[in-house]
Each structure stands twice: as C-alpha cells, then as structure tokens.
Amino acid sequence: MQVARNKELFPKKVTKTQLATVLGISRSSLYYQPKRPTLDLEMKSQIESVLVDYPSYGHRRVAVELKLNKKRIRRIMKKFNLKPFRRRPRKPYKKDDFGKPPTKYPNLIKNFCPIRPNIVWVSDFTYIEFQGRFIYLATVMDLFTREIIGWNISRFHNKELVIGALLNALAKAKSPPVYIHSDQGSEYEADDYTTLCETNGIQVSMSKKACPGENAFQESFYSTFKLDLGSTDQFESLGELVEALHLQIHKYNNKRIHTTLKMSPKQFRKQYMRNISIDKSKKVSTTLSKEMGT
C-alpha cells in the first residue's frame, strides 16, 4: 500500500504502526490478504475431481457429493465456467419402425407414482458407437428405486435384446412387477416379448407414438450414462467395452447420486427396506403391548 507522506505528521519515515494509528485500524490489517480467491480455487479443484468421475453432474449433484451448499457450488462453477459435459452422437434408425401404426397398448403408468419396489418397471434400449458400428444396451429400471435391475448387450437391436434384459431382471427380482413400460417399437410388440410378460402376470404399458417423454426415466438414464462412460475410443476391444458397461451400471446403482433420491439407487432401496423393518417392529411391539394390557 502506497500512501503519500505528510511531512508535518511524519517528519521521518512512516512505520506501519504509525500508519495504522492514523488510519484507525489494527497493524495486522495492513498484512491482510483476502481468503476468498484461495478458497474458491480449492473448491474449483474439488469440483473438477468430481466431474472427472461424473462428467454429467450438474451443481446439485456436485453439492450432494461434496456435502456442501448447492448455491456455493453453483457460484464457483459459474465463476470458473465449469459445466457438465454434453454431446449429441449420431443415432441409428430402424427401417421397420418407419410408418409403423400406433400400438394397441396404452400408457398405463401416466401420472403414476409407485410406493414400493416391483410395482412399475420401465424398459428401453440405446445404441453405443464402437469402431464404426453400433452395440446395443437394453435395460430394465425399477421406477421406485431408479435401480437398473436387468440388462442385456447385443450387436443387434431386436426382440432377443429386450427379452434378454427382461429375463435378467426377472431372475434378480424376488417377484415380477405389476406393470412394465416402454416406448413403442417392434421389439417390445413382438409376440415372444408380450407373451413373456403375460405369462409372468405383467401388464404391458407403452408410450404414445413419437412421445419419448412418456418414458423420460430411461431417456434420462441413458443421456447421463453415456457421458459418464466417456468416449468408446478408450477401449481397444469389444470385451473391454462390455466390461466397462457392466462396471458403469454397477457404479450407477451403487455410487452415482440420483438427483431425485439424493443418494444412489441401492442406498435408497436399503433405506426403504430398513424403514419397513422398523415400522414392522413398531407394529409388533404395539400389538404385544395391547395384548398384555400395558
């Protein structure tokens, strides 16, 4: 700090003590350096470390991951122009679905809110470009927990792709759901697929034609799943890609924070089951108390 010296007040060289006295501040204030820039840089580093593992995270999920206020995270991300990664890869089309008439299956889960697992499953498949061709991933999600409970990987998007994902989900779940929802498509309207659903007592539900928003849960999952997976150029073989897909699903189920749940799907399921156990224990305790007249 440079201050013009008043020769009448300070005939000699001004000391920091004298300067602080004239300014009416403490001597230590002359050494003060603002801490905010340093703190912001430290926070920037923490945010970047989260975005390395989860490049699709916005400020809300970053805040949950770091256990900090979302407004603070948003300010830092805006200050340093840190944004979740977005990309729009090319999309393959299936000629058999062009001009296809509307399905006979209505949307049975519109405005539906399940209150426990295994009521509504939603299903869809996506494409993953690898070495000039497409690999297809079909998944089945429990709408209550947002957990991916079944999946299948194939070189072709056909009925076997989606049937394999459903069979995988049925093998893992304790019981089949009441409904299974998907977009319209020849794969999901195939007799083998619908018969499998009916045999297990599952009601088939489908979105209206050209209304992907009616299956937004799966659409949202795939959009972030591919971003977190990263470029497929990093994999040298199909085997490495398939392994990475399995690991990414495991990471989504067990570690990735879901915006709505504020935790991972597995954590949410465990919390739900723990709360159910506590409620049952309370009911049993209340019943015994009544029977014993206490």
Amino acid at 111: N
Amino acid at 211: C
pLDDT at 1: 45
pLDDT at 289: 56
Do β-strands 133-142 and 179-182 pair in parallel, antiparallel, or remain unpaired? unpaired
Helix (H, G, I), strand (E, B) or coil at 190: coil
Q: CB neighbours of 257 closer than 8 A, spacing ≥ 6?
A: 57, 61, 64, 65, 263, 264
Instruction: Return the HEC string of 116-175.
Output: CCCCEEEEEEEEEEECCEEEEEEEEEECCCCCEEEEEEECCCCHHHHHHHHHHHHHHCCC
pLDDT at 288: 47
Take residue 167 and report the two structure tokens written for it.
């069979």
Amino acid at 59: H
Dist CA 64 CA 166 (whole Å)? 32
Buried b (16+ CB within 10 A) or exposed e, 218-255: beebbebbbbbbeebeebeeeeebeebbeebbebbbee
Q: From residue 167, how far is each of 151, 152, 208, 257 by CA, in Å? A: 9, 9, 25, 27
Dist CA 6 CA 12 (whole Å)? 10
Take residue 82 and report the two structure tokens written for it.
């840190």
Do β-strands 133-142 and 120-130 pair in parallel, antiparallel, or remain unpaired? antiparallel
- CATH number for the segment(s) 101-269: 3.30.420.10
pLDDT at 43: 87
pLDDT at 49: 86
Half-sphere exposure of 172 (CA within 13 A, CB side): 16
Q: From residue 164, how far is each of 139, 142, 154, 159, 188 by CA, in Å? A: 9, 16, 9, 8, 12
Dist CA 64 CA 257 (whole Å)? 8
| pLDDT tens per residue across all 294 residues of the chain | 455 555 555 556 778 777 778 878 777 776 666 667 888 888 888 888 888 888 888 888 889 888 889 999 999 899 888 888 665 555 555 555 555 667 789 999 988 888 899 999 999 999 999 988 899 999 999 999 999 999 999 999 899 999 999 999 999 998 999 999 999 888 999 999 999 999 999 999 999 887 777 888 888 899 889 888 988 989 999 999 999 999 999 999 999 998 888 899 999 999 999 998 887 766 655 654 555 555
Amino acid at 159: K
End-to-end CA distance of the chain: give it in Å, rounded: 78
Q: From residue 269, how far is each of 61, 142, 145, 180, 206 by CA, in Å? A: 19, 10, 6, 19, 26
Dist CA 245 CA 240 (whole Å)? 9
Write out the H or E segment, with its range, that includes residue 179: strand 179-182
Domain boundaries, the chain: 36-79, 101-269
